[in-house]
Amino acid sequence: MATSRLNSVLDAFEGLTPDPSWAFLELTQKQTAYATHGYHRYPAKFIPQLAARLIQSYSREGELVVDPFMGSGTTLVEAKLLRRPSVGADINPVAHLIAQAKTQAIEPERLAHALSILAEQIATSYQPNLFTALPTLQSKTRHECWGERLLYWFSEATLRQLAQIHRAIDSLDVSAERIFAYCALSHTLKSVSYWHDRSVKPMRKLDKRIPDARVVFLRHLKRMARGNREFWNLQVQRNALTVPTTPLCTDARQLPVEDGSASLIVTSPPYVTSYEYADLHQLSVLWFGWAGDLREFRERFIGRSNGVHEPRGELHSRLATQIVEQIAETSPRKAREVALYFEEMYDCFREMRRMLKRGGHACIVIGNTRLCGVEVQNAQVFAEQLETLGFTLERVILREIPSKILPRTRDKATGKFAKTAEADAIAYPVEYILVARL
């Protein structure tokens, strides 16, 4: 590609100032967690109003919307309410569980009946023997690591309570209601573990006061039921109950979506080596037995650190090459991780091109960060990569992040997140929205 064309792509970032209309500063936490959006904590998710605005701006009713990095399913929920069929994908089974629960409204009276039965089952399913109660601990040959980790994070009393809940959920007849309750159980795990409540990273607090898991679970279940009723009523009002929504647990580079069938992609990709979803979601992965061990689980993610895979060498971006070379001066290992990240993201963009119809748009929400003292310009690199695939960058929006669920402070030299008192920089104070047309 000609140097002048690449320069024109990067010129789109020069002199940008935040557009206050995209910050949604007027919204309260209750408004951004309306309907099913408050089902489960999830780091770094964008707010539903952002997804809704992009969907309304770049698609019409009935057109297919895809989110290759769906996370907790925000884009899919908003697409359904706006009467657009949608497909979402995430390699993380925790994300898949949450997205399944959030996108499937259950008739409120039917759900209320199922939850009353569930509460009765929890009250009568006590199992005094811990190893009888926990299937993961019974099969020690396969799950020995997980069993030890469960005992690392939870007291035996809490594990028995969680087993009661899980057994009761298993007895529910309807799949949608089981998924709904499993989502509530997953959300409950952090609150009843030794995980420090004020830390997003895995840190134990052994003197933490642990509440009864059954009480926490049932309380959250009621909150979710209120959200489900709101979601149901909104769909009835908008005649959206039959709009198809398909959340998948699969790789963003290989999606079962027909060529040229999507009108819009709205997504927020993972950040390079800066945020370990595998670590953050390990309690749910542990409990549900979704991986043999944490290292195996980490290896599934784009943006992972400490990976075993080597980059192939082609980044399809001059800027990406420069960034990798700068990081290599300090840390060759981190440089390889960044190179692999950009290679894998290019594969994702190629898959986006395959799915999109001509004239369709890809809206990508991403921020820049620092690693080993080097600014990693994710947004600019993505813009270059998209251009090599035949996309035209129509617009770049810079938005402030007032409420994104991320640690806000870090050490400027290392790029690592740090306690507020020790930090000298703000992490991700702004992010970019790239709007590219095929």
d(CA 214, CA 192): 10
Domain spans, the chain: 3-93+245-278+292-437, 108-232
User: Which residues are within 8 A (CB) of 25 and not within 5 positions of it... i.e. 6 or more apart?
Assistant: 400, 402
pLDDT in tens, 361-394: 999 999 998 889 999 999 999 999 999 999 999 9
Share of the chain above pLDDT 70, in %: 83
3-state secondary structure of 111: helix
3-state DSSP call for residue 296?
helix
Q: What share of the chain is helix, strand, coil (3-state, %, to 5)?
A: 50, 15, 40
Q: List Cβ neighbours of 288 (8 Å cut-off, separation of 6 or more).
A: 93, 97, 182, 186
Residue pair 291/143 in contact by the 8 Å Cβ criterion: no
Q: What is the pLDDT of residues 115-149, one digit of tens each?
A: 999 999 998 866 666 555 565 544 444 445 566 78
pLDDT digits (tens, 9 = 90+) for 17-53: 999 999 999 999 999 999 999 999 998 788 999 999 9
User: 123: closest CA among 193, 215, 192, 222?
Assistant: 215
Q: Which fold has domain 3-93+245-278+292-437?
A: Rossmann fold (3.40.50)
Say yes or no to pLDDT of 419 above 70: no
How far is the C-alpha of 333 from the C-alpha of 328, rounded, in Å?
7
Q: Kindly write down the DSSP assignment for every residue of 182-223, as one continuous string.
A: HHHHHHHHHHTSSB-TT-SS--B-TT--PPPHHHHHHHHHHH
List, in sequence order, every beta strand (DSSP E) within 30-74: 64-67
310 has a pLDDT exceeding 70: no
**Per the confidence metrics, is the pTM higher than 0.95?**
no
